[in-house]
Each structure stands twice: as C-alpha cells, then as structure tokens.
Structure 1
Amino acid sequence: MYSNIPNNGNQQANPFVANKEDEIDLKVLLFNYLQYWPWIGICMFLGIVFAFAFNRYSTPIYQIQSSVLIEDEEASLGMDLFESAGFGGFQGQSNIENEIGILKSYTLAEESINALDLNVEYFEEGFVRTTRRYDNPAILVSVDWNQNQLVEGMFRLEVLNDESFELTIENDEFKIFDPKDPYYKTQPKNQVRLSKSIYNFGEEIRGEDFAFTVNQVSSLAGDNLLFRLVDSPSLALKYREDLAVAPTNKQSAILTLTLETPVRRLGEDYINKLMEMYLQRELGEKNRASESTIEFIDDQLTGISADLQSSESRLQEYRTENQVFNLSQEGSVIFEQLQELEKEKSQTELNLRYYQTLKDYLLSNQSGDLVAPSLIGVADPLLNSLVESLSELQAENERLTSNFTEESPFVRENQNRIANSKRALLENVNSAIANTENVLADLNSRIRMIESDVSSLPETERNLISIQRQFTINENIFVYLLQKKAEAQITMAANMPKNTILDTAKAGQLPIAPKTSLNLLIGLILGFIVPIGFITVKDFLNTKIEDPKELEKQIKVPLIGMIGRNQSEDAIPVLNNPRSSVTESFRSLRADMSYLSPSRDNLTILFTSSISGEGKTFVSINVASVYALMGKKVILLGLDLRKPKIAEDFNLPNDVGMSTCLSSDTDWRKAVKPTGYKNFDVLLSGPIPPNPAELLLQEKFGKILREIKSEYEVVIFDCPPVGLVSETKELFAFSDINFFVFRQAYSMKGNTQILNNLVEKGGVSKIYGILNDVHVDKGYGYGYGYGYGYGYGNNSYGYHEEAQLPWWKRALRRK
C-alpha cells in the first residue's frame, strides 16, 4: 500500500531516509532492466555471433615492416665557411624529414609499381569473400598502356577449355585512363560492351577504350576468375597513402617503413622494391658528378684527339722528308725547357676553361650537375668545397620539389641557401680566373724568352722542334685527360649509397586485423548496450504511466492501492472468483477504507478517472462486490449518463435508471435492479439523455441520494471521467471518499495533473489514487503476480490463486 505522508515544517529531515529512497530507486532501475533479461541475453548472444562471423569471414590484414639507416654526413669546409660568414645555417646532417618525404614521394612509388608490374589485379571468388591472388596467377593479362584503357571495373573470366574462355563484365564502374593525360580519368560516354563473349587465349580483346590479351598459365576448365586493370598513377597514390614512414624514436636515424595489406607477399615485394629504388636514386645522385666530369672530359678529348693525330702525322712526315730524327744536345735542352712550360701552360689553360665554364653555369642559373674541380686537377680546397656544397643543395632541392610546392618553407629556405652558395662561388671563380690569367701570361712570357734561343739553331732543327713541340703538347693534354677520365670512372664505380637497409620487408605471422578478441568483446558490449539503450529510450519517450513509484511521486495525493490485471474475461472476479489475486487486491482496498473514513455504518464512495477506458467501472463494480461479500447492503449508482457500461457487465437492460428518475416522476426504488448477488443492487444510468450534466445538477438528485443513503450501508458512484465532462466535479460534494483511477500502460502521464488540479484548485478533499491493471513489473515488488501484488515478495501462502506466468518470469521470480 502507498500513502503520501505530509512533511511537518517542524520535523527535521532524516538523511538516512533519503539514502534509503535512493537505494530503492536504484533497485527500481535495476529491476526495470532485469524484466527484459531474456532479450538482453539474446542480443548479447547475437552480438558474439556477429563478431565471430565478422572475424571468420573478413579479409585478414597483415603488417609489413622494414627499416633503413640514414647515415649522417659531417658538414664540408664550404658549409663551415658559409655558416661562419653569415650566409645562413647549412646543415651537415641528413634531414630525416626530407628522407621520409623521399620514401613517401609519388615518384618513388610510381617507379616501384612500374618495376613490379602491378597494373593487373587478379581475384578468386570464394563462398563468402573474394580473395586477391598475387603469386602464380592462373592467367596472365597483358595490357597496352600506350592507349586508352578501362580501369577500376571488374571482368569475370570462366575457363571453357585449354584454348578458350568466356569473358563478361562483373562490375561496370569503369573509368577511362588516357596515357596522354594520366592523372585525370574520365567516365565512359557509352555503356561498356564486349564485341563477343567467347575468346581464345592469346587473342587480343579490343574495344573502344581498351585493348588487352589474356594468356593461359595454369587455369583449368570450369575455373571462375576475376581481374581488373589499375593505372600506375592511381596505384602510386594509394600505396603512397598506405605507406607509413617514421623514425624509431626522436633521436634515432633509423626509419621504419610500415604497410598494412591483405596480401603479405605483395606488401613485402613492394617495400623491398621501394627501398631498392630509393637507394638507386641516392646512388644516381652521387654518380651525377662523375658522369658530368666524364662528359666534360669527353668533350675536351674530341678536339684534342684530332689535333694529336694531325701533329703526329706532320712530325712523322717531316722526319722522313728531312732525315732528322733526334735533336742536338743544345736543341734537346731548349726543347725540354719548352716542354715543361707548355705542359704547365696546357694545365693552366684547362683550368681556365673549367673556370669559365663554371662561371657561365653560375651566370645562366642552370640547375644541372656540376663538374668537381678536383677531378679536373684544380687543387683549390675552398673551391672544391663550394662546388660540393652547391651540388648537395641542388640535389636536396630536387628532393624537396618532388614532394613539396615552391611555396613550401622547406623549399624556399633551401633555394635561399642555393642563392647564397652561388654568390659565394661566383666571387671565388672570378678571383680564380684573374689569378689563372696572370699565371698564363707569365708562362707565355717565359715561353717567348726560350723561343728566342731557338732562333740560333739550324732551320731544320727549328722546324723539328716546332712540330715536335706541338705534338708533345697535344700528347700531354690527351694523356692527362685520359687519366682524369679513368679517375672519374673509378670514383663512379666506387660510389655507394650512404644509407643502408637494416631489415628487408617481413610480414607478421598473425594478422593485425580483424582483432578477434577485441571484436568479440565489442560484440558482447554492443549486444548489451543496444537493448539497454533501446529500453532506456523507449522508457524516456513513453508517455504512459508504467511505474507505480513514479505515479506516486507525480500525484499530490496518496496512491492508496493497486489492482492487478484481470486474467479472465469475467468483469466481476470478486464474486465469481473469490480466490484470485485480483479479488485479494480489492479486499485489501476495502480494509484501507476503514482508515480513510470514520463512518463505519454508512459509506459513499466515488470513482472517476481522467479519460474513458481506465477501468473505473470495473473497479467500482468490484469494490461494491467486496462490500457485499461482507454482508453490507450495497448499491451501485451508474452516474455516467453519457457512456454507461454497468448494464453490459451484469447483462441487464438499460431501459430505466437514474436518467429516468431525474427526468420524470418515476420512483428510484422502481428503477433499482437486483444484480443476482446477495446484498448487491444496482441503479443503472438509464437511457442516455440529451442533457446529462443538467440532470445531475437538479435538487432532485440530492433528494434521491439522501433516500438511497438511508436505505443502503454502502453507496458506490460510478461517475463519468472528470477529465472529459464537468458534472463529476459537482458529485464530489455527495461522497465520503473519492478515488481517481489510473490504468497502467494506458493512462497518460500528463493526466496526473488533472488529479492535482482537483486538489489544488478544485478544493476536492479525501481523494486518493488507484492504479488499475497492474501487470508490468517496473521495480522490485511492484509487479502484479508477486504474491499480493503490493510488495510482499512471493509469499502468497496459498491465500489466493495466482495467474500462470511465462517460464522466464517464473525463473526471474525464483531469483
């Protein structure tokens, strides 16, 4: 039973009571969810089943890893000089971020893909999933990428025999790859169609925007295979995004390359090829200086070789014609002096040509490869260092521009360094040219002095010295250039990448996805959360009264009792089934009546509700019946003149009743009808009048009611819903106890305000709440079927018969 105990202003609040109420609320909340435990259990089981199926049939993903050691280089002499001179900070260490950018560059990815020939993807269709085939495909598709091709769509191939197959389009989401514009694909203008369906292996399959050939490898008759064409730019972009490159830690110079893919061997091959192309790129950058040197020397040798052959022929012809083979002692001395000076002059002229070439290179703002001065024979350490530094900065600029735009801070900073390096190098070159020209002028002066001594020799010997001198000059230059070319070739052959592959690509033994245990846990959690969330949202959006505890809090009057659901179709279970739990609830309500009204001899009870259908007639009939069982003389008044129902429940004709008595001179005693049960009479509402409200407001109704009270001990009013009609409010003045009936899962929560307004604004006293048709368990002890239905657990002690509950509710009840 429930009652609202008013709080006296002088009474001090008890914190222990509040805590207990909170504890009860938690129990209510818990049991609200526990009543759905079979559905929650089923959802959790389904969650685990779905997670298991996902783990079983999803494509496993493997992680491929390798590592590269990035070697650091000390700053060169030129770098130190520039830094000390204030030209900006030049870093001697390799920039880890730049190396990461190179490894993740589009160009490197495209070179690796082209080297591996990954433009055709093969698949095998399984019962549940389609698996990509990489190693040893059963067929081999050859594609002509020099013409337009259909990419991204899927072809299906069914092998008919060793010579032929049937080709169909499985997925027509094609795009057209144009080799003239490889980075922008277009949609086909027309639907893609094949000229025929049966083809022979090795036959070219050609259409409007495609041309390829399918070759037999190891397929068998009946095999169903899938394949699709993918262009290199798309693959390069995909693998570039999928590849992760990061240092092992902040201080480390070791980079770890990671790729997640469903095909382990493909991932290993791609990363290994990527690292191979990365080292080849680095080696190629190192060899560029040697290649440029060899090219420069070859250009010089082209002219010297012709001059050498010409001078050699002249020398032989002169010796033969004049029978002169050796110089005199004096001529030999002069010739040796001239030879030494000419050799030095030749080297100086070669150096001057190099300086001039280097100056032209700097002034023209070229970005090609520089020839190292040391390879030409220039022994200027500062100049060598400056040229080396400029070469490194230009190589760095190529790396950066392949991964960043011109407006990137990295690119702009590096270009500023290049500009500073060129400016310093140009100043050094101008100085070197001036010095070399001075040296060359001095050598020419010394040569002219020695040439004056040649005039004292005989004419034949003078001519021989001149011809032999020219031959010796060309020979020395030719031999010197050949020596430098050999040195450059040796240097190029000895070049090695400074970076090192520490670990080749290896795949993990177990897939990283799907995560079996985690997915099972997620499935279990979702299977629990989803029904809980659904129940919570359903309860939150539910506008019907469900929880007696919540109803008790919302109304301003005591909730005096609850009536359980009538499991039978009998409208009067109190009289027809006296041992039912519903009957017991009415007995309990009758017992509480003695505390609600001091009058024990005569009692007038009014029943109403907010709307029709909440069970006020059912309650009023059975309350009247429970008093009749006590031996009280009871009469039930049908005051709902608009929608009467009492006659139907007693199978009586509603031909005469209260409306008849109020609208005519008919004595009410003649309108009273026996119900067929001892001590229980009923005065029906009678025919529906046109003015029911006005009839009940007549003084005649009060007179009739006083006569009825004088002859009956208990008078029950079955009134119309107070929320719909107005006459019920006038009837409260004639009753001793008033009951406002709510129906579980039927009455709206907002209807509680109607009852509160009756108390607060209408001044109705001695009104109480009753919850009818209680059948939904919203908390511990509140559900009908647990004994008396009022919180006594399951201790029914055999006093009344309980309705048979479902097995899962009986199992929960035993808990």
Structure 2
Amino acid sequence: MKRNKKSHEIDLKSWFFKFKSKWYLFAVFGLISLAVAYVYVKTSQRVYQFNATLLLGDQQTGSKKAQELLEVLQVQSKGIKVEDEIGIIQSAEVIREALQELDFSVAYYKVSDHWLNKIGKLVVEEQYESAPYKVTLDTSAHQLVDVPIVVRILDDKTYEINIEAEEVSRYDFGKHSVVEALPEVKFTKQLKFGEPYKSDFLNFTLERNKVEDLAPGKEYYFLINSLESLVKQHQSSLGVAPIEREARVLSLSTKGTIPEKQLAFLNKLMETYVARDLEEKNLNGQKTLEFIDKQLATLTDSLRQSKQALSSFRSTNRIANIGVQSNISYEKLSQLEAERAKLNTDKSYFETILDQVQNGNGIAQSVSPTVAGIQSPIINDLFLQLADLNQKKAGYSVTASAENPMLRKIEGEIDNTRGAIVANLKNLIRSADISINDVNQRIARIEDNLASLPEHERKLMDLQNETEFVSKKYDFLLEKRSEAAIALATNTTDKKIVDHASMVGNAPVNVKPKMIYLLALLIGLAIPAGFVILMNNVDNTIQGKDDLSNITSIPFLGVVAHGPKADKLAVQNMPRSAIAESFRSIRINLQYLMSDSNFKVIGITSSVSGEGKTFCSVNLSTELALSGKRVVLIESDMRKPTFTKYFKDTINVGLSAYLTEGLPLHEVIQKTQNENLDIIPCGVIPENALQLLEQPRMQQLIDQLKEEYDYVVIDTPPIGFVSEYFVLMRHMDVNLYVVKHKYTNRDLLHQIEELYAAKKIRNIYMLINDLDYSNTYEYGYKRKAQYYYV
C-alpha cells in the first residue's frame, strides 16, 4: 500500500489548527487550573527552610596537659562514625529532650478574613509570639491533645470554646503518655479571660495579650500538642547530612511555617546534643574519681592504724632508731610485700571489673579498662570493640526495629565481645593468684631467715615496712586523684556549633505564586491538548486528503463542501454556493483527467450508506447538464432508493420495470427541471436486484443511453453492503468513490484499495463529501473565499 507521508512525521501546523479549533477547551481548562492554583496559593501555609552546621571533632576530651599526666585515661583513640552521630541527632530521644525545654505544647491558629473561608476554613494562619492570647496549661492534670479547640470572642471579658472531634486522646503531661482514648468529644463552654478552667478533659487558663486586642466575632483555635506528636512532626522534617563525603561538619535542615519556632528548635537541638556528649564524658571521669576515692578511703584507715602501731611499739620498747633497715633481707622483704600488695590490688580491681561486666551495669560503656593500670592490649581492644558495637547499636536503634537482622547481628557481636572480656578477666585473676602464691613463698623464706634476728628489731622493721608501704600507695593514689580531678575540671566536648540556625532565603519553599500559576496554566493547556490528541488517535474516520493518501493509492479527485442539509439540489438552486463550486471543480478535474479517452459512463459508489453518494450523483449530473451536456442519471440502488428526496414528481416505473417487464426506454426516462438532465429512477423495488442487473438487457440499456446522451451517471449501491457495484462496474468508464468527512471509517477503504492494487478496477477516483472548510487545516484557506459564495 502506498504511503505519501511518513508515519513518524509530525505536522505542527495541522496540530495547531486542531488545537485552535478547540480553543474553548483550552480557555475553560486554563481558567479552572488558574482558579485551583489561586485557591492553593491562598490556602497553603508558607513553609520555610532553615539550616545550621555542627562540627563533630575528633572525640578528644580534657586539656592536653591533663591527657599527658593521667595515664589511666590514656586510651587509644577509637574515633567516631559520622553515620552513628547522624542517627543519634535524629533519634527521638534527643529530639524529645530538646522539645521538653521549648514551649511548643500549644499551637495557635487564626482564621483569616478571606472570602474563601465562606466555603470552609481554607485560609488559616498559624501564630506564635504574635498570638493575641496565651494558653497556660495545668500539666499536672489531663488534657485533650491533637484536637482543634475553637475560640470565639464574645466580648472584652468572655469567650467561648467549642470542640467537635472523634477519636480523641486524654494525655498525661507528667508521664507523657495517653491515659484514655475517647471515641467522640463534643461540647461548648463560655469562660472568662484569666479564669482557670478545670474539667475531666481540659485544664488551662486563657489570658489576653497586650500585643493585640481580640476582636469580637473573629474566630481562633489552638491545639494542645502531645510530646509524641511534636517529636514525630520535627523528626519527619529534620534532615542531617555531612556537607561533603567523609566530612565531620554536619548540615542540619528543617522546614516549618513559623521561623521563630524552627530556629529555636534547631538551636536547642544542637545545644542538647552537645550537652549530652559533655555529660557522658563527665560521667566517665566522675566514675574514675569515685573508684579512686574508694581506694583512698580504705588506705587512709590502714595508714592511720600502721602509724599508730609503730608509735606504740617505739614508746613501749623505748626504741628511737635502728640501723638494720638497710639490711638486704629487709629490703627484699619490703619489695616483695609491695609487690604482693600491688598484686592483691590488681586482683581486687579485676574482680570488680568482672563483677560489673557480668552484672551488666554499664561498665563496658562508661569506664576505660586501664583505669587501675590494666595494661593488657587484648582487654583494651575488646573494650574498644564493645564500645564501638554499642555506638553502632544506638545508631541503628533510631530507625530499626528490634527484629532487624542487622540489629540482632550487632547484639550477638556485643554478647560475644562481652564473653571474651569475661574470659580474659578470669585469666588475669588466675594469673594474679599464681603470682601472689609465688610472692608468699618467697616472703616466707625471707621471714624464716629473719627469725634469728632480735625480736624487737624484727618487729620494729615490720611496722616500719608496713607503714612505708601503705604511705607510698596512698601517695600514689592521691596523685592520680589529683590528675583525674584536673582532667575532669578541664573536660570539654569535641562537638561544636559552627553556625546557629538561620532561614534559607526569604521566600517559602512550598508556595511560589509565579511558578505555581505558570505550572497551573501549563497543566490547564496540557489537559485539553491531551484530550484533542487522544480523540484524534481514537477517531478512525477520514479527516482529509492526507488521510486518504496514507490509506490508499487511488487518485484524489476533489472535495464537496459542507452546506445546508435541507437543499438537496444545491448546484441547481444555489449556483454561487460553495457546494456548487465544489462540483464545478470536480467536473473540470474529471474532464481534464479523462481528456485522452471518450468516457461516457460515470459510476458513483461509497463504502456504506449515509456517505452522500446519491447526493454527489445528483449534483454532479446537474453540473454536467448545466455545462451544456446531455446527461441521464440512473438509480441502480434498487434496495434502498432515495431519488424521491431529490425529485418530487418521480414516476412509479423505472429501471426495475424496464429490466423485468420489457418496457420501452422512453417510458422509464423521466424529465427534470433541467432540460439537459433526465433520470431513470429505481421504480418498484424488486426481490432479485442483483439478478436483474446481470441481465443482457442492462447492457442494452447502457449502449442505447450512450448513443443518446453525452454522459450516463449511475448511482450504485454501496460496496460495503451489497455486490451490485461489481456487476455494474463493467459498464463504467469512470468510477468515483465517495467518502464522507469525519464519517467514513478508514478500515472500510481496504476493500477498494485491494481491488485497485490488483488492477481489477480502472479509472477510479476518490471524492471527499461534506467537508467543512472551517473545521479542517488542509482547506482552511477556503474560508477566506466565503464572500465569493452566496
């Protein structure tokens, strides 16, 4: 099948014409879209964006000097993970702690004086410090939360509250929990300004502000927010991310309608996060001091008792000085006793740490394993791993549930690490026991050697050695306490607020009127454009000459203009009309195309009924007759004759009588108002129309008419319904195939195209009937020729 135009080509001018013909749709949808955009702009609360920056640091605490002095606090730096810190900042616990220090429990709203509010409460403005009244809650009593409480001003002293809501919660602000769920609440109450209101549902005092006077008749309302709803609201809008990959500077962002509230929230959130970090570091240092203080308290009593015993012994035995302290045996004995004491202290600390780890009281998270001088790299590494795993668990707990596989994996690793710590501590305790036994044996041997010394000298040396040992241990712990106190006093957080919260730009991020109106206008134009495109693709009828060129290769002859339906004989009755001019063009084109042949018989058909083949047959015959030619028009459609609509005085005899009864030709030919046009109507409808047209008498009729007339025009039945056309086709010199604009289905042309492609039909041309020039792009230029027509 021939295609004159590629299917992928787009005729922009044609589409523009189609859009222009539906201009009213674009106007209606454009106005509707702009109206919707106007309502959206007026009813949407302005949402602004706010940013702040926070530095995480490198997690070093205290002054540098204190870090160098305090060996017990020298732990290998484990660093931080940015993802974990982001999770902590976004956690509900940190946000809750920040919100508890802010006065966000009551939200104020004002119903603006706008005509849209006559439809409903569409234009509502949230207020904060500019609210004309203030609600003070009694937090010791229960309150209705997350439900609008309408305030209507009656006069200068009284107001009215109204509540109508379903599924309302009673909230305990002391415990921050819901105590009761109410299926429905509905009541109205008149109150006085400044007078406390107490009930089972509400407990508050509403006072006027001096900033603005409350106008009677105006409507306000406020919401009492539960802490959980505030946390969810701020947690959903909070965004935390590093300013770039692997950076330790975090960018905090949030969105809200009230700049003052969002700025206060961001700043308080950063302050809370920094304060929590410092508090955790101070807690670690405080636990170190508590441990040393316990050791010092024990040594203080021991030192006092040893000094008292030495003094009593000297006084009782009148011993002022003794030189045997330099004896090598006593020096070794003193060293061994010091070593045994140290081993006992280490063992005591190992047992304390083991007990705390096994009892799960938090030692693994808060106390460094080297607090008492444990220098085991394995223990240190295990505690660092346990702390890192706990930090990971805290980060995942923000967004993950208890059944999360990753969270359960981390918990398993924590249990394994804690078990390894317990095993290593038990090994250290066993090792300390072995060392203590060894030292005891060595001490026993030295004591046996000293047994031969004078009793007083030996006793005095024992007391002096005990006193010296306790004193040295006390001085050591006292020095370490001083260093730990210095570190705690100079302790600082590694978290730092770089930029306090500020608003991004001056315009809201959700409502940009120019952009919204432009987008609404584009949508308003896109909807009808899509509708036109859809209807054009769904419409399978012939739209114009281009459609014919894409469907069939049959030559195109011309078009018949759209005109008044009441006038069937437009060529004769309206010679200066667009229809008459159309048939003139068709006649001229036909005579030009058939100039090389002496054509006489013109057959006119169509696909189905209603396409105007009879209309074209009658008017083309009339045009040929008006040109001075003798024309006879035959109505061969003997199944559904329609000549009576065009020629009122049609006789009852016609083609059927000629073929069946053998009537002479002059009895079936009927004259018309045009002296050059005669017609042969169908006559009585026969039962065997196809068989009649196949008779030799039909050929005789055609031959006789060709001798008497210049042209013989045959109005044939539609080929899509019956087969008479294929019988009459052998008599015709020219075939005209009529399609109706926006009526004929494209699929109906496949049959005639196949006949033409197989060369089973010759001299056939296409006509488009009833084409409205004002409704087509191809012939739109002919609208300008209307003043040529009458």
Which of the five TM-score ranges fits, normalised by the shorter chain? 0.7 to 0.9
Question: In the alignment, is the contact (CA less than 8 A) between 2:350 and 2:425 conserved in 1?
Answer: no
Residue 156 (str. 1) matches residue 150 (str. 2): yes
2:710 partner amino acid:
E
1:775 Cα deviation (Å)?
1.9
1:551 Cα deviation (Å)?
0.9
Among 380, 393, 401, the residue aligned to 1:401: 393
Residues 139 and 335 of structure 1, relative CA distance in 2, 3 Å threshold: farther
Question: In the alignment, is the contact (CA less than 8 A) between 2:773 and 2:782 conserved in 1?
Answer: no
1:609 Cα deviation (Å)?
1.0
Residue 68 (str. 1) matches residue 61 (str. 2): no
2:80 partner amino acid:
S
Q: Match for residue 536 of structure 1?
A: 533
1:505 partner amino acid:
A
Provide the secondary structure at the position in 2 that maps to 1:589. Answer: helix
Instruction: Give the TM-score normalised by the residue count of structure 2.
Output: 0.77
Among 630, 640, 645, the residue aligned to 1:643: 640
CA distance in 2, matches of 1:768, 1:691: 29
Question: In the alignment, is the contact (CA less than 8 A) between 2:139 and 2:172 conserved in 1?
Answer: no
Q: Match for residue 206 of structure 2?
A: 215
- Listed one character per residue, the Cα deviations across residues 201-220 of structure 1 (whole Å, up to 9, x for unaligned) are 6655656xx55535335383
Q: Match for residue 667 of structure 2?
A: 670
CA distance in 1, matches of 2:9, 2:658: 55
1:72 Cα deviation (Å)?
1.8
Residues 270 and 399 of structure 1, relative CA distance in 2, 3 Å threshold: farther
Among 469, 475, 496, the residue aligned to 1:500: 496
What does 1:780-795 align with in structure 2 at a 5 Å threshold? 782-783=778-779, 786=782
Question: In the alignment, is the contact (CA less than 8 A) between 1:739 and 1:770 conserved in 2?
Answer: yes
1:200 Cα deviation (Å)?
5.8
Provide the secondary structure at the position in 1 that maps to 2:250. Answer: strand
Q: CA-atom RMSD, angstroms? A: 5.1
Provide the secondary structure at the position in 2 that maps to 1:723. Answer: coil
Residues 145 and 443 of structure 1, relative CA distance in 2, 3 Å threshold: farther
1:544 Cα deviation (Å)?
0.9
Provide the secondary structure at the position in 2 that maps to 1:611. Answer: coil
1:746 Cα deviation (Å)?
0.6
CA distance in 1, matches of 2:221, 2:234: 22
Instruction: Give the TM-score normalised by the residue count of structure 1.
Output: 0.75
Residues 739 and 280 of structure 1, relative CA distance in 2, 3 Å threshold: same
Residue 96 (str. 1) matches residue 82 (str. 2): yes
Provide the secondary structure at the position in 2 that maps to 1:676. Answer: coil
Q: Match for residue 555 of structure 1?
A: 552
Among 243, 257, 260, the residue aligned to 1:262: 257
Among 96, 108, 111, the residue aligned to 1:122: 108
Q: Match for residue 84 of structure 1?
A: none
What does 1:219-368 align with in structure 2 at a 5 Å threshold? 220=214, 221-296=216-291, 327=315, 330-331=318-319, 333=321, 353-362=348-357, 367-368=362-363
2:49 partner amino acid:
Q
Q: Match for residue 34 of structure 1?
A: 17
Provide the secondary structure at the position in 1 that maps to 2:109. Answer: strand
Provide the secondary structure at the position in 2 that maps to 1:249. Answer: coil
1:538 Cα deviation (Å)?
1.6
What does 1:593-742 align with in structure 2 at a 5 Å threshold? 593-597=590-594, 603-653=600-650, 655-664=652-661, 666-742=663-739
Provide the secondary structure at the position in 1 that maps to 2:720. Answer: coil
Question: In the alignment, is the contact (CA less than 8 A) between 1:155 and 1:228 conserved in 2?
Answer: yes
Gaps of 5+ in 2: 63-74, 115-121, 397-403
Residues 561-570 or 485-494, more deviating? 485-494
Question: In the alignment, is the contact (CA less than 8 A) between 1:30 and 1:779 conserved in 2?
Answer: no
1:231 Cα deviation (Å)?
3.7
1:396 Cα deviation (Å)?
3.9
Q: Match for residue 810 of structure 1?
A: none
1:652 partner amino acid:
D
Residues 370 and 565 of structure 1, relative CA distance in 2, 3 Å threshold: closer
CA distance in 2, matches of 1:644, 1:530: 46
Residues 277-286 or 134-143, more deviating? 134-143
1:504 Cα deviation (Å)?
1.3
What does 1:481-492 align with in structure 2 at a 5 Å threshold? 488=484, 490-492=486-488
Provide the secondary structure at the position in 2 that maps to 1:574. Answer: helix
Residue 592 (str. 1) matches residue 584 (str. 2): no
1:246 Cα deviation (Å)?
1.6
CA distance in 2, matches of 1:637, 1:724: 19
Residue 192 (str. 1) matches residue 184 (str. 2): yes
Provide the secondary structure at the position in 2 that maps to 1:172. Answer: strand
Residues 687-696 or 722-731, more deviating? 687-696
Provide the secondary structure at the position in 2 that maps to 1:773. Answer: strand
Provide the secondary structure at the position in 2 that maps to 1:497. Answer: coil
1:526 Cα deviation (Å)?
3.7
Residues 25 and 474 of structure 1, relative CA distance in 2, 3 Å threshold: closer
Question: In the alignment, is the contact (CA less than 8 A) between 2:650 and 2:670 conserved in 1?
Answer: no
1:250 partner amino acid:
R
Question: In the alignment, is the contact (CA less than 8 A) between 2:350 and 2:428 conserved in 1?
Answer: no
Provide the secondary structure at the position in 2 that maps to 1:755. Answer: helix
CA distance in 1, matches of 2:50, 2:447: 71
Identity %: 24
Q: Match for residue 382 of structure 1?
A: 375
Provide the secondary structure at the position in 2 that maps to 1:562. Answer: strand
Q: Match for residue 546 of structure 1?
A: 543
Q: Match for residue 513 of structure 1?
A: 510
CA distance in 1, matches of 2:492, 2:374: 23
CA distance in 2, matches of 1:453, 1:181: 74
Provide the secondary structure at the position in 2 that maps to 1:512. Answer: coil
Provide the secondary structure at the position in 1 that maps to 2:252. Answer: strand
CA distance in 1, matches of 2:722, 2:257: 73
1:192 Cα deviation (Å)?
0.5
CA distance in 1, matches of 2:144, 2:604: 81
1:801 partner amino acid:
Y
1:106 partner amino acid:
A
Question: In the alignment, is the contact (CA less than 8 A) between 1:143 and 1:213 conserved in 2?
Answer: yes
Q: Match for residue 44 of structure 2?
A: 58
Count how many residue pairs are aligned between Structure 1 and Structure 2.
739
1:615 Cα deviation (Å)?
0.9
1:326 Cα deviation (Å)?
10
CA distance in 2, matches of 1:754, 1:600: 27
CA distance in 2, matches of 1:403, 1:551: 70
- Listed one character per residue, the Cα deviations across residues 334-382 of structure 1 (whole Å, up to 9, x for unaligned) are 89999x989979988766643442343355565336656887xx5x473
